[in-house]
Amino acid sequence: MNIWELIIVQPMTNILLVITMLVKNFGVAIILFTLLIKLLTIPLTAKQVKSRREMADLQNSPEYKKIMEKYKDDREKLALEQQRIYKEKGISPFSSCLPLLLQMPIIFGLYQAIMRAMASTPVELLKLERIIYPFLDVNKIIPIQNRFLWMDLGQPERLYVFGIGIPVLAILVVLTSWLQTKAMETSDAGGDASVAATTNSMNLMMPLFMGYLAYQYSAGLALYFVISNLATMLIYALMGEMNWKKLIPSKKEEVSTKKVIETSLVSDDDGEDIENKKAKPAPKPSARSAAKQMRPKKMKK
Amino acid sequence: MKTRIFKIVLLAVLSMLLLSGCAGGPIAQSTPGLSANDTHVFLSAANKIYKINLENGTEAWRYPADNTRMMTYAPVLFDNETFIFGDMYNKLHKLDIENPQQKAWESTDAKGWYQAKVAQSGDIIIAPNTDRNIYAFNAKDGSLLWKHEDNFAFISEPLIIDDTVVISSQNHAILFLDLKTGEEKHERLAMQGAVMAAPYYLEETGLIYVGSLGNEFIAINAMTLTVEWRYDGSIEKLSGIWAQPIYLQEQVLFNDDKGNIVSVDPLSGKENWVMPEQGNMLAGLAAVDEDRFIVAAEDGSIKIFDTNKKPLLQFNIEKAKIYTTPLVTDKFIIIAPVGAEYNLYAYPLETTGMPQWTFNPAK
């Protein structure tokens, strides 16, 4: 057994099995275990969110933009100046990545623990048997009762309606993944259309890919995806990081964003009150992206 | 900006690869299925079934011949004209043995995977499925005759004795079903753990032998369907038993997953001898001839012993993991490892450890 298995996968699998023994239902155990892990990683998520906010604020500050503009042709100098600002403000550019990196082993461990516990062939069962701690009674644990609602958690999920197998969980995975990606989207692509297009297509591709995994692989995995997506959305919503307005059809958003930008440009030129102008056109679609556009102009004034 | 696009795409691709990697490749990890007649060996290896000439290891055919999606590890059951197997796309197939593109029938009644070899008695095919049902089909047209539901997936080969279907259940029990109706014809026999091993019937003694993951090995009277004896030998604690026993030189031999090999008297269950811990084993024992048997361990080591537990030969297949019980034909010992250089290794019965032929599917 390698170190990864020993310190991550084995303990997590055993915790999952203990929960299963306590609640006597593997589906409920997957849900509880996913929520438990999400709860335990909230401090890391909060730190990540805080760092991301600080970084975004800094990058939108006039001082930062000024440096970017001033040293755009001298990358070395630019890097030095950026480091100086980071140091002055006490911000590390990697501080938002670190909590994410710390969470990664836990997330993948959780994923592998669920996959491991859903053993349904002799080889998989043998491998599961081998990582169960000696103080747990293997014979009471194996085999795990995979039945949950209409699903067999060890196999791809289908709800049969009039003989047609509908992949309900896979559909839910696509939906919740898309909602999550869309509502947590922070980048406005810096106004670059090609980057925006790429981001948009990736935002669509990832949920579809997750849906494909949910369709093809065991229902337990799909259940984990759905619960994990819902829990992530809830946690981010509580932290004020969910932008539900992004879920409104994008055409409106584009038009109104354009209006806000145009307005802000006009206000800059003619020197009228920005707040006044901002209130006149269609309401801003995304408070954060609009604010981003507005902030430098304000500062200039 | 191009760098930014590149980074986004790279990140997405890496995420996808990471997720795909974690998902473990195929739908489920299992082991190759083997069966053979006098002239050919049939290998069920994930997405194809191969019919291979026993003499020289050349491929006679593969099914499906094209890129049609399929996944199966279940050994095939065949007669002179047809063969039957179930797959992990929930289908049971009966095909022509010479031209597998010619389908006799296909059943889509089950909602789960077929992992085990099916059994046949007359015109009735008994097929265990992971949707917690045992199915009985009409061998002629594939029509469903009955199904019997329980609480856990059925993943081991059924045994049919006269009009009784004996089947191992992960529900810590052995089930006895009526062949014609699928009704439980006798109270199920409680075991101390999940039963993965297929039951083995010895006509000479009239007993059915089977072990469980509850560290036990028992003999069941085929007439009364009650326990005749329980193994209670010198091994302090048997480990889980995953494979069928064999009968050789008036001994019943079985192994557990720690590699303990035990010989008992078929009638009394009295221990003859024990060979402790020969390596981790999922595969069972196979009789090579009247006095020798072979055993393959997970680490790729293969050992041949005589029935007095004298070691005769030991060799190994590099990088191999062996989970499938070796198959012995009139002329060859066939090993189907995973992770090795070849999918099949065929050794002559009087082997020195050098394969006579090996098989890998041509691309």
Return the pLDDT at B8.
Answer: 60
Return the pLDDT at B5.
Answer: 63
Chain A residue with minimal CA distance to B156? A122
Chain B residue with minimal CA distance to A146? B152
The DSSP code sequence of chain A is --HHIIIIIHHHHHHHHHHHHHHS-HHHHHHHHHHHHHHHTHHHHHHHHHHHHHHHHHHTSHHHHHHHHHTTT-HHHHHHHHHHHHHHHT--TTTTHHHHHHHHHHHHHHHHHHHHHT--SHHHHHHHHHHS-TTS-HHHHSSP--EETTEETTS---EEETTEEE-HHHHHHHHHHHHHHHHH----GGG-HHHHHHHHHHHHHHHHHHHHHHHHS-HHHHHHHHHHHHHHHHHHHHTT---GGGGS-HHHHHHHHHHHHHHHHHHHHH---HHHHHHSSSPPS-HHHHHHHHHHHHHH-
- Which among B200, B310, B180 is positioned nearest to B247, based on CA atoms? B200
pLDDT in tens, B206-235: 999 999 999 899 999 999 999 999 998 777
- Which among B157, B151, B105 is positioned nearest to B131, based on CA atoms? B151
Of B22, B23, B113, nearest to A155 by CB-CB distance is B113
pLDDT above 90 as % of chain B:
81
Using DSSP's 3-state secondary structure scheme, residue B200 falls into strand
Return the pLDDT at A268.
Answer: 42
| Residues in chain A closer than 8 A to B151 (CB atoms) | 145, 147
Task: Check CB contact under 8 Å for B12 and A124.
Answer: no
* Identity of the amino acid at A81: E
Q: What's the mean pLDDT when you consider all of chain B?
A: 91
Count other Cβ atoms within 10 Å, centred on residue B5.
Answer: 16
Q: What are the domain boundaries of chain A?
A: 1-145, 147-247, 251-300
Domains and CATH numbers, chain B: 196-277 (2.40.10.480)
Return the pLDDT at B6.
Answer: 65
Return the pLDDT at A153.
Answer: 85
Return the pLDDT at B4.
Answer: 61
The one-digit pLDDT tens for each residue of chain A (301 residues) are 788 889 989 999 999 999 998 998 899 999 999 999 889 888 888 888 888 788 878 878 888 888 888 888 888 888 888 888 888 877 777 776 776 677 778 778 888 888 888 888 888 888 898 899 988 887 778 888 888 998 888 778 888 888 788 889 999 999 998 888 887 766 554 445 665 677 777 778 888 888 888 888 788 888 988 998 999 889 888 888 777 776 666 554 454 444 444 444 444 444 344 344 443 444 444 444 444 444 444 433 3
Return the pLDDT at A207.
Answer: 86
Of B12, B73, B213, nearest to A142 by CB-CB distance is B213
Asked whether the predicted pLDDT for residue B67 surpasses 80, the reply is: yes
Give the best residue of A104, A114, A120, A187 to mutate against chain B (max B CB count within 10 A). Answer: A120
| Residues in chain B closer than 8 A to A209 (CB atoms) | 16, 19
Region B350-358 average pLDDT:
93
Task: Check CB contact under 8 Å for B22 and A112.
Answer: yes
Most confident of A207-221, B29-43, B59-73, B114-128: B114-128
Weakest mean pLDDT among A208-212, B37-41, B244-248: A208-212
Chain B residue with minimal CA distance to A111? B22
- Which among A192, A78, A191 is positioned nearest to B2, based on CA atoms? A192
Task: Check CB contact under 8 Å for A145 and B19.
Answer: no
- Count of all residues that appear for chain A in the document: 301
* Angstroms from B5 CA to nearest CA on chain A: 6
Task: Check CB contact under 8 Å for A123 and B323.
Answer: yes
Instruction: Please list, residue by residue across A57-90, b when 16 or more beta carbons sit within 10 angstroms of its beta carbon and e when fewer do.
Output: ebebbeebeebeeebeeeeeebeebbeeebeeee
Angle, CA of B209, B214 and B217, to the nearest 5°:
20
| Residues in chain B closer than 8 A to A221 (CB atoms) | 23
Task: Check CB contact under 8 Å for A195 and B152.
Answer: no
Question: A295: which 2 tokens?
Answer: 């902030």
Question: B184: which 2 tokens?
Answer: 């439980």
